[in-house]
Chain A
Amino acid sequence: MESPEPTHREINSMKFLLSNDYLALLTRTFVGLLFLVVSLEKIVEPAAFAQSIANYKIISPPLTTVLATILPWLELLCGFGVLFGIFRRGSSLLLSGMLIVFTAGVISALWRGLDIACGCFTQDPTVGKIGWMKVVQNVTLLALTVFLYYSSSVKFSIEHHLRTRSSE
């Protein structure tokens, strides 16, 4: 007799996961550092990143340059945010949004048979060619950022620390 509603046990395990400090810290460190590190190369070489974006043939210059100007800094700030626990919800929301757009871009490029580099981790056009592995990577990362959005753990979170401080 299976009921379509989640059982008590299922809800509890989900709540457990979402409130688990250890899981949250692990995920925040991984996701935060990842986006922080990959953003650096894009920040110092916006022209190369603009070319990586243009290769998808979805957005045309000069819009690619505008994106290449803003996006890396967004990755940097959001990576910082989830890592240190500042603007956590906004950071994880934006990272999730970016990952959805990136994944859609990769799938679209694969569909059209483009043989291009992802431009995710490096701007070298010969490295990191798109493929279904890339899609799997992005979706996994998306699962992590969505988890962070709903995570209720506040351990080692600067904004929580500041909030509880001011209420004393």
Chain B
Amino acid sequence: MSRLRTALREAGMLLLAATALGFIYTAAMEKGLFASRQPADTLSLPSSRNAPVMISRDQAKAYFDGGAALFIDSRHEFDYKLGHIKGAINLPVNEYNLKMGALVQLPREKLIVIYCDGADCNSSIELSARLFADGFLNVKIFFGGWDEWKAQNLPIEKSTR
């Protein structure tokens, strides 16, 4: 059947042309097989613009009044129970993996204020680094902590959460 032979011959030429065009186009436009690879890590790293910053007690109080911040007490549960900033939750840094499940639902832009005892305590800084590494972009460190808050008789509570 010469019809089939013609068809096959034409099909072969079309296939050849499509292959050539396809490779030339994608190569020229750097698509498909020729797309330049983005290093995966540069795309997922949060910029240092959003790294945790230290804030003053006044700033912490302002956030507290605003009502939108989540206060996190990074001290041991024992100290937390004795007294903590009103509304704060307890997340000791050495129990991070255990208790961070409560934060999983939070949007990554959630305003978070971390505090611990005060000047001689670093757990708030440690915890802030963990949260930042997990993608939270709006973390503040109230470095004055419990000591400064209590000194001004600012709202506290003793009940457990």
Q: Do A and B come from one complex?
A: yes
Closest beta carbon of chain A to B88's beta carbon, Å: 42
Complex interface: stretch among B6-14, B54-62, B105-113: B6-14
Nearest 10 A/B pairs, CB to CB: A90-B10, A46-B32, A89-B7, A73-B18, A74-B18, A90-B11, A69-B22, A87-B10, A93-B7, A70-B22
Identify the B interface with A (CB < 8 A): 3, 6-15, 17-19, 21-23, 25-26, 31-33, 35
A69: chain B residues within 8 A (beta carbon) = 22-23, 26, 32-33
Given contacts A69-B22, A73-B18, contact A47 B10 (CB under 8 A): no
Q: Pick the contact of B6 from A65, A66, A90, A94 — CB < 8 Å?
A: A90
Given contacts A69-B26, A87-B14, A90-B14, contact A47 B31 (CB under 8 A): yes
B32: chain A residues within 8 A (beta carbon) = 46-47, 50, 65, 68-69
B35 and A47 contact, CB distance less than 8 A: yes
Question: Interface centre among B11, B12, B15, by most A CB within 10 Å?
Answer: B11
Chain A 66-87 interface residues, beta-carbon cutoff 8 Å to B: 66, 68-74, 76-78, 81, 87
B25: chain A residues within 8 A (beta carbon) = 43, 73
A78 and B14 contact, CB distance less than 8 A: yes
User: Which residue of chain A is the closest to B29 with respect to CB atoms?
Assistant: A44
A94 and B23 contact, CB distance less than 8 A: no
Chain A 27-78 interface residues, beta-carbon cutoff 8 Å to B: 43-47, 50, 62, 65-66, 68-74, 76-78
Identify the A interface with B (CB < 8 A): 43-47, 50, 62, 65-66, 68-74, 76-78, 81, 87-94, 97, 149
Closest beta carbon of chain B to A111's beta carbon, Å: 29
B15: chain A residues within 8 A (beta carbon) = 70, 74, 94
Cα–Cα distance between A93 and B19 once the two chains are bound (Å)? 17
B12: chain A residues within 8 A (beta carbon) = 90
* 29 A/B residue pairs, CB under 8 Å, sorted by A: A44-B31, A46-B26, A46-B31, A65-B32, A66-B33, A69-B22, A69-B23, A70-B15, A70-B19, A71-B18, A73-B19, A73-B21, A74-B14, A74-B15, A74-B18, A77-B17, A81-B14, A89-B3, A90-B8, A90-B14, A91-B10, A91-B11, A93-B8, A93-B11, A94-B11, A94-B14, A94-B15, A97-B11, A149-B7
Cα–Cα distance between A46 and B34 once the two chains are bound (Å)? 11
Cα–Cα distance between A90 and B14 once the two chains are bound (Å)? 8
Closest beta carbon of chain B to A84's beta carbon, Å: 13
User: Which residue of chain B is the closest to A89 with respect to CB atoms?
Assistant: B7
A77 and B18 contact, CB distance less than 8 A: yes
